[in-house]
Amino acid sequence: MSEQKVRNMEEFAALVGVSRPTVSKYFNDPSSVREKTRKRIEVALEQHDYRPNIYAINQNRRQTKTIGLVVPNLTDPFFAAIARIIEGMILEAGFNPLLLSSHAGPDQEISNLDSLRAIKPAGVLLAPLGRASKVDAIAEFAEQIPTTLFDANLDGVGEAFFGSDNDQSVALIVEYLCRSGEPPSFFELEDPVNPNAIKRRNAYKAAMERVGREPLFVRVEGSGWDFEEIGFSRGRELISRKQLPTSTVLCSNDRLAIGLLAAAFDQGISVGIGEDCSMRIAGHDDHPFARYTCPSLTTISQDYVAIGQHSVDTILGIIERGERLDQRIVSLFEGRLVMRGSA
């Protein structure tokens, strides 16, 4: 590696022995220059480790090579896992992912979009907070920058939405629970912020009615994203006061279920499908930790590889074609029943 420092593309081009525009072409698309030239540039590149100034590049380009990825809460391992998968897909497509977390706050969500606006990304994949989101501001953002939603839908916002088919997945687990024992009650927040929660509530009701059972809701107070804590503290109260209507409980998501499992343990209730168990608990999402709860959690696994891939492909398509979709796409993917020890 040469000691000489290359200050800009002009200097680097001189070292290579070609003109600056040729070097510029190379960096935009190495295959757009002649084989021989490419080799020469690449040799020089190794000797001087020059890299174009990213700010100067993006100042003039209409579009950057960045794709924004905004998730509601990175502290939630579920979203951390999805984010990681999608990051990989973006990289594979030759773009740079920029991951931002809204930290469960609508203001932070808007602030993230503002940051992205400043960066002029080619596109954005957004998993919105849901009902807490400032929809108008997000819609305005999506007008400016190609945006697709995933996980949670906001009606009419963005080019597309990819998520889970809660009707299908909840029906799946409700039917399983009914088939294998007592029909479940539904454990959820009284006033959920997440649209999925509302869809699951309705899906549960419909599924129960379909099998001729009366839907029973256990609605607990609690706000925010501290689901484990809510599941634990409210669950403990309910169990100790024997206020649970059934001994089989389907939770609106895995994190609530993890809290409820802890509450049951705390109250000396053994959970599971064995003869000696007095309670069954199921969740939804296949949280990364669902495998290691005690007992391991029966749940629904979302197809987030499909969700991620469709989100990425859609945004890439829009970027390539340079024009928006004629019609907003909404596509839902089926969940898979993951049978474990808890139900």
Partner DNA sequence: AATAAAACTTACCGCGCGTAAAATTATTGC
Partner DNA sequence: GCAATAATTTTACGCGCGGTAAGTTTTATT
Footprint of DNA on this chain (CB under 7 A)?
7-10, 12, 17-22, 24-25, 27-28, 32-34, 36-37, 51-53, 56-57, 59-62
| Closest C-alpha among 105, 107, 92, 95 to residue 68 | 95
Q: How many CA atoms lie within 13 A of 73 on its CB side?
A: 16
Whole-number minimum distance, CB 129 to DNA, in Å? Answer: 30
Kindly tell me which of 52 and 245 has the beta carbon lying closer to a copy of itself.
Answer: 52
State the Cα–Cα distance between residues 158 and 324, nearest whole angstrom: 10
Whole-number minimum distance, CB 120 to a copy of itself, in Å? Answer: 8
Using DSSP's 3-state secondary structure scheme, residue 211 falls into coil
Question: Residue 289's binding partner, choosing from a copy of itself, DNA, none, with beta-carbon cut-off 5 to 8 A by kind?
Answer: a copy of itself
Helix (H), strand (E) at residue 126: strand 123-126
Whole-number minimum distance, CB 228 to a copy of itself, in Å? Answer: 5
Q: CB under 8 Å to 51, separation ≥6 — which residues?
A: none
Provide the residue type at 196 as one letter: N
Q: CB under 8 Å to 286, separation ≥6 — which residues?
A: 254, 299, 300, 301, 302, 338
Whole-number minimum distance, CB 23 to DNA, in Å? Answer: 7
Question: Residue 301's binding partner, choosing from DNA, a copy of itself, none, with beta-carbon cut-off 5 to 8 A by kind?
Answer: none
Whole-number minimum distance, CB 287 to a copy of itself, in Å? Answer: 10
State the Cα–Cα distance between residues 131 and 128, nearest whole angstrom: 9
Kindly tell me which of 114 and 209 has the beta carbon lying closer to a copy of itself.
Answer: 114
Residue 121 has phi, psi (to 5 degrees) of -70, 155
Question: Residue 103's binding partner, choosing from DNA, a copy of itself, none, with beta-carbon cut-off 5 to 8 A by kind?
Answer: a copy of itself
State the Cα–Cα distance between residues 330 and 332, nearest whole angstrom: 7
Whole-number minimum distance, CB 55 to DNA, in Å? Answer: 7
Question: Residue 84's binding partner, choosing from a copy of itself, DNA, none, with beta-carbon cut-off 5 to 8 A by kind?
Answer: a copy of itself
Q: What is the dihedral of CA 126, 130, 133, 137, to 10 degrees?
A: 50
Kindly tell me which of 128 and 259 has the beta carbon lying closer to a copy of itself.
Answer: 259
Question: Residue 240's binding partner, choosing from a copy of itself, DNA, none, with beta-carbon cut-off 5 to 8 A by kind?
Answer: none
Question: Residue 148's binding partner, choosing from a copy of itself, DNA, none, with beta-carbon cut-off 5 to 8 A by kind?
Answer: none
Name 329's bridge partners: 160
Residues forming contacts to a copy of itself in the complex (CB under 8 A) are 51, 53-59, 74-75, 77, 80-81, 83-84, 96, 99, 101, 103, 115, 117-120, 228-229, 232, 258-259, 261-262, 265, 288-289, 291-296
| Closest C-alpha among 288, 287, 284, 263 to residue 343 | 284
Kindly tell me which of 16 and 89 has the beta carbon lying closer to DNA.
Answer: 16
Q: Are 72 and 79 in contact (CB under 8 A)?
A: yes
Question: Residue 10's binding partner, choosing from a copy of itself, DNA, none, with beta-carbon cut-off 5 to 8 A by kind?
Answer: DNA
Q: 14-35: string of b/e by CB count within 10 Å (b at 16+)?
A: ebbebeeebbebbbeeeeebee
Whole-number minimum distance, CB 270 to a copy of itself, in Å? Answer: 10
Kindly tell me which of 262 and 319 has the beta carbon lying closer to a copy of itself.
Answer: 262
Retrieve residue 174's tokens.
């409700």
Question: Residue 137's binding partner, choosing from DNA, a copy of itself, none, with beta-carbon cut-off 5 to 8 A by kind?
Answer: none
Whole-number minimum distance, CB 118 to a copy of itself, in Å? Answer: 4
